[in-house]
Amino acid sequence: MARIKLKIPAYTLFSTRLPVRINDINYGNHLGNNQLVGLLHEARVQWLTHHGFSELNAGGVALIMAELTVTFKQQAYYPDVLQVQISSNPIDIGRSSFDLYYEVTKNSAGNNILVAVAKTIMVCYDYQKKKTVQIPPKLKEIIS
């Protein structure tokens, strides 16, 4: 089976450092896949907060994650500190959706090691009308 290959765009939106917590460790004694998804969510919320947004109000609309792709490259352990970089590509912006790319690295003995790459497709949504809506101008500006 062919592996999914994600190419991280050069345009960085945000970067944050997140520690691997002891409760992120699975029975294999490394960062669990479900916990990595939670760390991606944390990074995305930090990015939104940095711009005065939230997932329920990103320029007047809510955001729903419609799709998630993760490719694991290396294990991470407690107490590693992960660098999560969020990027976008203007060609991946539609009327009501956009792609966010994540590059997760850790530093080990002075070397940056790629832990995982991921992509989410985020959809702008109106919960009252229960339908997708157009990306607001301010949000479009920060992802372009």
pTM for this model (two decimals): 0.96
Q: Is residue 1 part of a domain?
A: no
Instruction: Give tens-digit pLDDT for 83-106.
Output: 999 999 999 999 999 999 999 999
7-44 burial, b for 16+ CB within 10 Å, e for fewer?
A: ebbeeebbebebebeeebbeeeebbbeebbbebbeebb
Beta partners for residue 36, in sequence order = none
Q: Give the residue carrying structure tokens 């109000």.
A: 57
CA 117 to chain centre: 9
Q: Is residue 135 part of a domain?
A: yes
Residue 40 lies in a domain: yes
CATH code of the domain in which 90 resides: 3.10.129.10
pLDDT (tens digit per residue) in 97-143: 999 999 999 998 899 999 999 999 999 999 999 999 999 999 999 99
Question: How many structural domains does the chain have?
Answer: 1
Report if residue 66 sits inside a domain: yes
Residue 72 resides in a domain = yes
Domain span at residue 76 reads: 12-143
The pLDDT > 70 percentage for the chain reads 99
